[in-house]
A and B are shown apart, each in its own frame.
Chain A
Amino acid sequence: MSDKTTTAPPATDAVTFEIDGRTLTVPKGTLLVEAAKLLDIEIPIFCYEPRLGPPIGACRMCLVEIEGSRGLQTGCSTVATPDMVVYTQTQQVKDAQDGVLELLLANHPLDCPVCDKGGECPLQDRTFEFGPGETRFVEPKRHFPKPLDLSPLVAIDRERCIACYRCVRFSQDVAEDGQLTFQDRGEQTEVATFSGEPYTSNFTGNIIDLCPVGALTSIPYRFVSRPWDIQNAPSVCAHCSVGCNTELTTREGEIKRVTGRPEPNMDVEEGWLCDKGRWAYDTSRSSDRIAEPILRDGVGERSVTIDRAVGSAAAILLRQGIRAAVLVGPKATVEEGFLARRLAETTLRGAPVSRLGIPSAGLGPLREVPSAQLGDLDRADLVVVVGGDPANQQPIVELRLRKARRRGAKIVSVGPRPHSVDALGETMRTAPGALAGGLEGLAERIAAAKHPVVCWDEADLAAEPAAAAALANALSTNAGARQIELGNGANGAGLRAIGLETSGVLDALEAGIVDVLVTIHANPCAGAGSERWTAAAAKAKCVIEIGTHRTALTTRADVVLPALSAYEREGVLVSMNGRAQRLRPAAAGPAGAAPAWELLIALAHRLGTPPRERTPAQVFSTIAASYPAFAGMTYSTLGSLGQPLIATSAPAIPPSAVEPSGEGLALVVTTPIFGGDARRSEALARVRPAPELALHPSVAAANGLATGSMVRVSSPHGSCVLPLRTDERLAETGAYVWLGLGAGTEALLPAGRSSVRVTVAPEATV
């Protein structure tokens, strides 16, 4: 189905017409439902959902009267025309609404009190507002087998289904996974998958949000809360760099549910969420959550009050001649990054401070190309995806790319990984480490396109500066060209924007000139270069850790300060392509924990440099006054949808050495959607892939490796053992592994994630 038909034609012509006696002017092509909203008139709907494509006019809830038309017309599909006279409140319309509701309810079970949707159910709400008082249906109701699991995460109760087509259209026309369809016909119509197989996709949860009744419900949320004892708050997802806008549901301070925003952010996620963003909230109460402050000193290890812990941390930092270093992880908010930087540079008098992430070297020219919002993909005619695997690493991008393709954009993907975006258009498979080769010929196409957008993977292009330079060049040929960085970490871009760079702390630790390592939402010993970090950190005499979950440092840190997670604290995150958005505190978090920003302020007080700011909003004002990228922004200008950063010129950091380290196969790493910080999620356990090494069959054969056998993968930086899978589509020069599944694959990477080669050898089974 083409989305083209839904785009309102350019508002060159306006149409003036009348609804309920009031005159209004709308752009040509405006549907009556949309026009009515402008006058705060509600035309009730069930099947209408513009994000799913053109209206289908199936539920008949939206019938309105139009002067001169025979019978009632569907407001969801009728376009306003000049001088049209529309009535939405006549007796005839009310009777029709009554009628549709009565008919929908005829076979609908009367189990609202035990239905998860009860209290926030559009069918229930419409019935209150527009519906019949009581049903006249005395016949036995239609019967389907009782609730079943549609997938490990979504339950279906077909008796409640009103056949509104929303879930089916989402599957067919938005996610394009083709799995959900209607089967049978007439009153026997039911939503189904092929042969009753489980519905598997990275976006299954959206059908729960779309369902206007309780037919599709979240299994993790089943019977968890009732609508009258929950609170909802708008926030932002911090499980990847995209920054999807979310709504958080809490009960008694605990996070119970994450859903898409009822008022979507059309520039970012368009109201959709991936299943990680929706269900990984249980990670905020996983067993490795740091729940209380820990102090380790001469007396031993014990939990203390947070005040006492902050005091102890300050005491360590106040010791005479102490040399500190501060490391900030990509989940720290902009405010926390800023406070950390000020702590290091001012309070701790120039202590090294850096962020954990991918170095900016060589990426400057690319980042200077004007950046696009994801919503701009809707208007692109050419989209080039360079490197990466957005479907896994920036999941919502997949949906936006699919939509772009439906609207006529050509999609070209270049890179070493086979991934689901390939199927959307052309693929130029490159050998690992040879992105530049795949870009040849693209320059002309970018130059010739009207609205080309290049989505490029931060890690891959940082590892291949020549490709980054070539891509920047290609983009410079077309003033209309835009770029979207497929970045890493919930706030990697925000930390960069306040000048935090990746170098400094590691070298200082290795040089033995750091006595105290302070980490803030950072887990260096489990990421790229983990072995090097582990050795380097061992040289610091003291560690002060501020974080949410246990890390390798937690067991030795002198002071552990439990921090609040993204579900629990306030602050600003900057998404991968530079959109500043607000995180809102919805859940309470562990009683002993505090937000890192507050801990940093408290620390600064104890260290004799009391900051002026007492709230994140105030810290953000200071940032806005200090960094041009944030100029003029405040919490209120960010509002609920956020703002793109102001373009500034990036510091020109020349590319560093490009020679890959090691010998053998080029290592290709990908973080799977349900890995990374979501690997702690119990809800997602059943859909998470297992760790593996993937090789081209010929490579496996050449190395004497059998499918399924255990293989030791070694690089100069570390090694790990993985079961082998072979895949014809892979390059014969590459070794492909998942990151973020707790299998130690990170150890293979050098700190900074530059290119690396690995050797593979059979591992004797124990």
Chain B
Amino acid sequence: MTADQIRAHIDQIRHEFAQERSLILPALKFAQTEKGYLTADDLAAVAEATNLSQAFVESVATFYDRLYLETTGRWVISVCITLPCMLRGSDELLHHICERLGLDHHGGTTPDGMFTVQEAQCLGACDRAACIQVNADAMRGPLTNEDADRLLDELRAAPAPTEYAR
């Protein structure tokens, strides 16, 4: 994404912050909606738009789990593995999804670029354990292996999202 596009986005909320630096997360998150992850060029564009150093922007970006500096699939499937979900079968679910997609058991990205599966820490939906989140959609759960299969099929058939919220 270009610095101008990012600037246009954050200019709308600039007045809400006493310091420009606060715009960095909104800027990073916005830049990420383009492809679902951030390249070095994206980071540089954010730096330019926020008047921060590139190193600082990268340092902030690497701190947060939901900012991706490596390519992600079209659909990022976050499988919660924290205790409440573990107690209700999240390990099975993760295992199943990874098997089905031919991924390593801790997740990864499918070669066709369709899916990224990752372990997530508590998603705040333990009442729906075992739960998952697709991109930044509302949490889904509880999911059986069959539910997961169905979901994967649906996602595969669905059109690409217009913006990649993560």
A and B touch in the complex (CB under 8 A): yes
Contact B40 A183 (CB under 8 A): no
Contact A180 B63 (CB under 8 A): no
Contact A195 B59 (CB under 8 A): no
Q: Does A627 belong to the interface (CB within 8 Å)?
A: no
Name the residue of chain B whose CB is nearest to the CB of A188. B62
Q: Main SS of the interface on chain B?
A: helix
Residues of chain A within 8 A (CB-CB) of B58 are 181, 183, 192, 194-195
Q: With A194-B43, A195-B40 in contact, is A178–B63 under 8 Å at CB?
A: no
Name the residue of chain B whose CB is nearest to the CB of A176. B53
State the Cβ distance, B145 to closest chain A Cβ, in Å: 32
The size bracket of the interface on A is 10 to 19
Contact A185 B63 (CB under 8 A): yes
Contact A194 B55 (CB under 8 A): yes
Q: Does B54 belong to the interface (CB within 8 Å)?
A: yes
Residues of chain A within 8 A (CB-CB) of B57 are 194
Q: Does A430 belong to the interface (CB within 8 Å)?
A: no
Q: Which of A178, A184, A185, A195 contacts B56 (CB 8 A)?
A: A178
The size bracket of the interface on B is 10 to 19
Q: Does A182 belong to the interface (CB within 8 Å)?
A: yes
Contact B63 A181 (CB under 8 A): no
Q: Does A193 belong to the interface (CB within 8 Å)?
A: yes
Q: Does A303 belong to the interface (CB within 8 Å)?
A: no
State the Cβ distance, B58 to closest chain A Cβ, in Å: 5
Interface residues of B in 27-58 (CB under 8 A from A): 40, 43, 53-58
Q: Does A124 belong to the interface (CB within 8 Å)?
A: no
State the Cβ distance, A424 to closest chain B Cβ, in Å: 16
Residues of chain B within 8 A (CB-CB) of A193 are 55
Contact B53 A182 (CB under 8 A): no
Contact A184 B55 (CB under 8 A): no
Residues of chain B within 8 A (CB-CB) of A172 are 56
Q: Binary interface profile of A, 156-179, with partner B (CB < 8 Å = 1, else 0)?
A: 000000000000000010000011
Q: Which of B55, B58, B62 has the most CB of A within 10 A?
A: B55
Q: Which of B40, B43, B53, B62 contacts A178 (CB 8 A)?
A: B53
Residues of chain B within 8 A (CB-CB) of A184 are 62-63
Contact B63 A194 (CB under 8 A): no
Residues of chain A within 8 A (CB-CB) of B62 are 183-185
State the Cβ distance, A1 to closest chain B Cβ, in Å: 12
A178–B63 CA distance with the chains assembled, in angstroms: 17
Residues of chain A within 8 A (CB-CB) of B40 are 194-195
Residues of chain A within 8 A (CB-CB) of B59 are 181-183, 192
Residues of chain B within 8 A (CB-CB) of A178 are 53, 55-56
A131–B111 CA distance with the chains assembled, in angstroms: 50
Interface residues of A in 184-211 (CB under 8 A from B): 184-185, 192-195
Q: Which of B40, B53, B59 has the most CB of A within 10 A?
A: B59
Residues of chain B within 8 A (CB-CB) of A180 are 55
State the Cβ distance, A675 to closest chain B Cβ, in Å: 27
Closest 7 CB pairs of A and B: A178-B53, A181-B59, A194-B54, A194-B55, A183-B62, A181-B55, A195-B40
19 extra A-B contacts, CB within 8 A, seeds A179-B53, A181-B55, A192-B59: A179-B55, A181-B56, A181-B58, A181-B59, A183-B59, A183-B62, A185-B62, A185-B63, A192-B55, A192-B58, A193-B55, A194-B40, A194-B43, A194-B53, A194-B54, A194-B55, A194-B58, A195-B54, A195-B58
Query: Can you list 26 residue pairs at the A/B interface with Cβ under 8 Å?
Result: A178-B53, A178-B56, A179-B53, A179-B55, A180-B55, A181-B55, A181-B56, A181-B59, A182-B59, A183-B58, A183-B62, A184-B62, A184-B63, A185-B62, A185-B63, A192-B58, A193-B55, A194-B40, A194-B43, A194-B53, A194-B54, A194-B57, A194-B58, A195-B40, A195-B43, A195-B58
